[in-house]
Amino acid sequence: MQKNNSVRSTGRHRSKDEISLRDLVMPLFRRKKMLVLTFLLTFGVAIALGILLPPSYKSQMSVLVNRERLDNPVSTEATTEMITTANSVTEEDINSEVELLKSRDTLEQVVLANGLAESHGFSLADLLHPYQTKADRVARAVNGLAKKLKIEAGLKTDIINISYSSADAGLSYRVLRTLADLYIAKHVAVHHAPGSYDFFNIETERYKKALDGSEARLRDFGKEQSIAAPDLIRTDLALQLTNAIGQLHTTEESIAADEQRIGSDQQQMVITPQRSATQQATNPADKLLQDLNDALLVAQTKRTQLVLKYDANYPLVKEADQEIAQDRAAIAAAERTRYVTETTDRDPTFELLREDLAKTRSDLASQRAALTKSQQSIKTMQNQMVDLDQKSLTQQDLLREAKANEDNYLLYLSKREQARTSDALDRTRIANVAIAMPPFIPALPTYSMTLIAFVAFVFSIVLSIASTYTADYLDSSFHSPAEVIDILDIPVVISMPKRTA
């Protein structure tokens, strides 16, 4: 009993704690027929399926996401072209392009363009859905395309890899080719504002007409007003007006000076003689003395004759005596008399004063006439300046309107050219994405027979071993004395291997 207990204890300890290689491979030896049959059957079926099933042709393409082209934002504001360093492509940009590739409308157009929804002979889908419509077939084809289409973003790269497999090599190529065209078109449509060229073209034509109208009104204004540059004329007129006002003040000062000069000349002429002696000669009164002596002689002769006839007291004699006394008194007076001969001429000072007075009065008259004319001219120039101010304001309004229309015209013309250039680039498919590797028609199937045989061989080995171990695990019979001891807890006296007859 002690020996049996010892054997049982030893067997239990080994089965629980120690598993040898022999224990692991023992099920394979016990069920080697099953192992071989399973391997041969699985390998044969895999090879048959690889031969009977149509080959799969895989076409691939790659899309490069970059930032080589940066479109200006569409706005009515003026933009300044600046050379900037393109920003790096972010993960969000890559994911956005992946979603565009997976978009349902794009896949639906691929399905319709390549006839993936059309039924080619008998198919399981027709059997399972006998009443499906064309829309149902297209929807199922889109789902199938989405599953078979492999779109993966490269790790730490800006490249998106796309692959598609089908039994037809040409179909694989056409699907990716169509997908590439539709994706580029969708990318351009998403990142480009539609209708911008038409809008800017309409605005450009509108402001061109407005500019033509403004220029026409500006020309008509110059013709109607007979003036070209009122600002320049007003500047020159202002200078002339300033000079005229200065001359006016000068004339007023001259008038005041002339009036003061006239008063001074008149005062000096009052105290200045008009004529002055230039030559003086003194002569005696010889002729008078001769005449008086002759008269005295005649008077004496007469008295003598009367005295001879009459008495001294006779009246005629007395009369003669009186005449003689008068003549003698006159002779005495004549002898004392001296004749002075003087030659006079105009006084030069008086003449200078008179001439200066006349000249000053003439100048005063001309200065007053000039003052009156200057006042009229200044008034006229002031009125002209007021009129020029009004015309200048009107012209400035027309110029501002023309300038504003010109700026708007040039702005929208530039915007139209930008939009036209953008549309031209879009039509040539120049965008921020590029087909780095275009799709190609695969010449060889995805899996060769060697690879299929190798995979079938490995799969058959794995499946046969797994099935052998599974069958051995599910078998409830004892395979060794140790299992009897462990499970039933009874001693095994002897064990005999099974022998086939």
Q: State pLDDT tens for residues 305-346.
A: 877 777 778 787 788 888 888 878 887 877 777 666 666 667
The one-letter amino acid code at 484 reads V
Return the exposure string of 460-470: e unless at least 16 CB atoms fall within 10 Å of the residue's CB, then b. Answer: beebbeebbee
CA dist., res. 325 & res. 295, Å (int): 11
Over residues 42-51, the pLDDT tens digits come to: 888 877 777 7
Which of 71-75, 196-200, 258-262 shows the lowest per-residue confidence on average (mean pLDDT)? Answer: 71-75
Q: Residues near 138 by Cβ (< 8 Å), separated by ≥ 6?
A: 108, 111, 112, 117
DSSP structure class, residue 438: -
Name, in order, each residue with C-beta under 8 angstroms of 205's C-beta and a sequence gap of 6 or more.
none
CA distance 456 to 444: 20
Q: Which amino acid is at 256?
A: A
- Could you tell me the pLDDT band of residue 2, with boundaries at 50, 70 and 90? very low
- Please say if the pLDDT value at position 287 is more than 80: no
How far is the C-alpha of 176 from the C-alpha of 326, rounded, in Å? 173
Q: Check if the beta carbon of residue 34 is closer than 8 Å to that of residue 471.
A: yes
Q: Give the whole-angstrom CA distance, residue 405 versus residue 214.
A: 8
Decide if pLDDT at 470 tops 60.
yes
Is 350's pLDDT higher than 50? yes
- Does the structure show a pLDDT above 60 at 257? yes
Asked whether the beta carbons of 163 and 155 are under 8 A apart, the reply is: no
pLDDT of residue 347: 74
The per-residue pLDDT for 272 is 78
The listed range with the strongest mean pLDDT (36-45, 466-475, 484-493) is: 36-45
Classify the C-alpha dihedral 296-302-305-308 as positive or negative: negative
Nearest residue to 94 (alpha-carbon basis) of 183, 154, 178, 180: 154
Residues 6+ apart with CB under 8 A from 27: 468, 469, 472
Confidence bin at 82 (pLDDT 50/70/90): very low
Whole-prediction pTM:
0.45
d(CA 399, CA 116): 66
The more confidently predicted of residues 347 and 173 is 173
Q: Is the pLDDT of residue 5 over 50?
A: no
Please give the residue that has the higher pLDDT: either 498 or 462.
462
Is the four-CA dihedral 113, 119, 120, 125 of positive or negative sign?
positive
State yes or no: pLDDT of 473 exceeds 50: yes
Q: What's the sign of the alpha-carbon dihedral 481, 487, 493, 495?
A: negative
> For residue range 9-27, what is the model confidence (pLDDT) as tens digits?
344 444 444 566 666 777 7
- AA identity, residue 431: A
Higher-confidence position of 236 and 84? 236
- Token pair, residue 385, equals 């300046």
Per-residue pLDDT band at 73 (split at 50, 70, 90): low
Task: Give the model confidence (pLDDT) of 360-401 as tens digits.
Answer: 888 888 888 888 888 888 888 888 888 888 888 888 888 888
Pairing between β-strand 57-65 and β-strand 433-437 as defined by DSSP bridges: antiparallel
Do 354 and 269 meet the contact criterion of CB atoms below 8 Å apart?
Answer: yes
Per residue in 146-185, pLDDT tens?
A: 888 888 887 778 888 888 888 788 888 888 898 888 888 8
Indicate the burial class of 318 (C-beta count within 10 angstroms; 0-12, 13-18, 19 or more).
middle
Q: Please give the backbone phi and psi of residue 423, each rounded to the nearest 5 degrees, phi first.
A: -65, -40
Reduce the DSSP state of residue 102 to 3 states and report it: helix
Could you tell me the residue ranges of all domains in the chain? 1-54+463-501, 275-346
pLDDT band for position 284 (50/70/90)? low
Query: What pLDDT shows up at residue 9?
Result: 38
Q: Is the pLDDT confidence value at 469 over 60?
A: yes
User: Which residue, chain included where needed, has tokens 């105290």?
Assistant: 271
For all residues of the chain together, what is the average pLDDT?
76
